[in-house]
Amino acid sequence: MAAVAVIAFVPPARGLWLRFFDSLRIARPQRASVNVPSFTGPGANRQLEHIVGTMVAETATVTLDEPDQPAAGAAAAARLAGFAPRLPAGRRDAPKLTVVGAHEVTMTVSFSQLSTILAEAGVGSRGLPRSLDGAPVAIRTPRAVRAEYGSCPRPETPTLQSQLQGRPSPPPDFGDCVVLTEGPPTAVQAPPALDLRELVGIALELAGMSPAQSREFRGTLDWRALFGLSVPRFIRSYRTVDVGGAPGALLGTAFRRGPTWELVWTGGGMVYALVGYGSSSDALPLARSIGAGGAR
């Protein structure tokens, strides 16, 4: 409640949040909203590209919206995704494989909206050229492979019968649930004058990171790799880690209904997001085992 009070009543945080939430109440995009299906599967939260897109433009058009496709095995997933997935040798159980469809969103820059967001964020917009107004921006998320291990949560829609029956049964234990999503980084076409790295930093803060965490996060991973990722709703801890020689970021969450940790890193031109519902001590050993046994 104290955190909510700070956001609600202390300027400039209040102004930034009010402006951001006001920007969410814009005209409906064509065909679908800017939000693209989550990169990290069950338990994932707000994608950075969604937040950045909302800051940049008032409306958006979804020009490509591929459906997700189940895959019977790694070979089938490779044929659908266009690359061979690398799976963790640290898990012996068979994963549920899904090829996440590619998506593309186009929009035009709103100078007034963007300059207001930058000003409210304390960055300033004096160097923002007027020529950006109406400039095209395209965000393309390529196909990815999602591998789910263990018993993972599924979205449930309340029914009248379930409500009449009273209190639902206790939820199952998701402690063995691990979700790995891997794919090429999001491709962004934008004017050079549009500082997307700076916008990603603001998006990370809106997603729940402190300014220091945001700077360190962007210093660990390139913003292009971060663009298609989702950030947990409640970040309890954050630290940089080494994943087989590649820099990574391990996030601990404080959301009781969601995953307890998320590990993000890049390697070989691919972006990896590993999400777990158990102990965060399992994250690094499992991540370092990816590729050890090859694609299965």
3-state secondary structure of 270: strand
CA–CA separation, 127 and 210 (whole Å) = 25
- Give the domain range for residue 144: 2-152+175-288
Summarised one tens digit per residue, pLDDT across range 201-258 is: 888 887 777 788 888 888 888 777 777 777 666 677 778 899 988 889 898 876 666 7
The phi and psi torsions of 88 (rounded to 5 degrees) equal -75, 125
In a domain? residue 103: yes
Summarised one tens digit per residue, pLDDT across range 99-153 is: 999 999 999 999 988 888 888 887 766 678 899 999 999 999 999 999 999 988 8
In a domain? residue 158: no
> What pLDDT shows up at residue 95?
96
Here the tokens at position 282 are 């399992």
Question: Phi-psi region for residue 170, left (φ > 0), alpha (ψ -120 to 50) or beta?
Answer: beta
In a domain? residue 110: yes
In a domain? residue 204: yes
Show Cβ contacts of residue 60 under 8 Å, excluding neighbours closer than 6 positions: 29, 30, 33, 34, 53, 105, 106, 107
> What pLDDT shows up at residue 54?
84
Look at the chain and report how many structural domains it folds into. Answer: 1
In a domain? residue 199: yes
In a domain? residue 293: no
20-24, 133-137, 267-271: least confidently modelled range: 20-24
> What pLDDT shows up at residue 257?
65
Average pLDDT score, the chain: 77
In a domain? residue 69: yes
Summarised one tens digit per residue, pLDDT across range 164-195 is: 555 454 455 788 899 999 999 999 999 998 88
In a domain? residue 167: no
